[in-house]
């Protein structure tokens, strides 16, 4: 009980308990700009929205993109991008090679739904100081692992510092992944990933520069088997560099 109370107090410090973020947990839908928008850095508003408990989080169109640092997703949530809304990685924010724009770890029932929504990183920045570029090619746009029932739909993922997505158990539909540094999509040890009506192209920067890479994961698949390791690519195009 004490731990739960401490967590609740910590959450209240970050979020106004009278704000729409709290109301959204009850009514279901939260528009992020009702918490706030900062054209230079909206990380805190976006993360508060994801943490709010709302079943539907809406990124509404603004004069500029939603500029953000690394974000962490939660279970049972639909993230909807209004037509014309954009997301951009904050310049100088992804200093560590392991910084990811969107991380989903051991969550379920999450959908990112856009309308050709641009989600942009800046891969050329990460290959020079002041960034740690000793392991260039690891700053992914999406890292999704240990999850179930995840969908990415209607997104345009561009200029990823590593892969557009490193994925397990996920559905991708009507997406474009363009100009990633290392891999367009990295399917790592997955069972049942599908990619539909999507284009993965222009991967260029660091070896292996692939469109889609299917790799085994010794922890999930100690002895790779066609019955355990598969991904379906339907009505999609892949290319590199």
Contact 111, 144 (CB under 8 A): no
Tens of each residue's pLDDT in the chain, 241 residues: 444 444 434 444 454 544 555 554 555 999 999 999 999 999 999 999 999 999 999 999 999 999 999 999 999 999 999 999 999 999 988 988 889 999 999 999 999 999 999 999 998 888 887 777 666 667 889 988 888 899 999 999 998 877 766 666 788 999 999 988 777 788 866 567 888 899 988 888 777 777 787 765 544 443 444 444 455 666 656 665 5
Short-list 160, 156, 101, CA closest to 126: 160
Task: Answer whether 0.85 is exceeded by the pTM.
Answer: no
Please state, in angstroms and rounded to a whole number, the distance separating the CA atoms of residues 96 and 70: 11
C-alpha angle 218-171-69 in degrees, rounded to nearest 5: 80
Q: Are 159 and 172 in contact (CB under 8 A)?
A: no
Sheet-wide strand order for 183-188: 71-72, 102-105, 142-145, 163-167, 183-188, 210-215
3-state SS class at 203: strand
Instruction: Give the span between the Cα atoms of 135 and 97, in whole angstroms.
Output: 6
Rounded Cα gap, residues 45 and 213, in angstroms:
34
Cα–Cα distance measured from residue 129 to residue 148, given in angstroms and rounded to the nearest whole number: 37
């Amino acid at each position: 009980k004490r731990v739960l109370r401490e967590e609740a107090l910590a959450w209240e410090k970050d979020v106004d308990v009278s704000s729409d973020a709290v109301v959204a947990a009850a009514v279901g839908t939260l528009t992020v700009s009702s918490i706030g928008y900062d054209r230079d850095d909206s990380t805190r508003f976006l993360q508060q929205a994801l943490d709010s408990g709302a079943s539907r989080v809406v990124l509404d169109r603004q004069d500029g993109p939603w500029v953000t640092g690394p974000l962490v997703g939660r279970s049972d949530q639909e993230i909807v991008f209004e037509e014309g809304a954009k997301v951009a990685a904050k310049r100088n924010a992804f200093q560590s090679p392991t910084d990811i724009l969107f991380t989903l770890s051991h969550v379920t029932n999450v959908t990112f739904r856009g309308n050709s929504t641009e989600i942009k990183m800046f891969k050329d920045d990460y290959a020079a100081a002041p960034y740690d570029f000793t392991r260039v090619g690891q700053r992914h746009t999406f890292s999704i692992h240990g999850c179930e029932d995840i969908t990415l739909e209607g997104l345009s993922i561009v200029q990823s510092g590593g892969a557009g997505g490193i994925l397990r158990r996920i559905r991708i539909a009507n997406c474009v992944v363009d100009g990633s540094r290392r891999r367009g999509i990295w399917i790592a040890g997955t069972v049942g990933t599908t990619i539909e009506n999507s284009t993965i192209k222009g991967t260029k920067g660091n070896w292996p520069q692939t469109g889609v890479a299917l790799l085994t994961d010794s922890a999930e698949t100690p002895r790779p088997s066609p019955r355990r390791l598969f991904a379906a690519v339907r009505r999609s195009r892949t290319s590199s560099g």
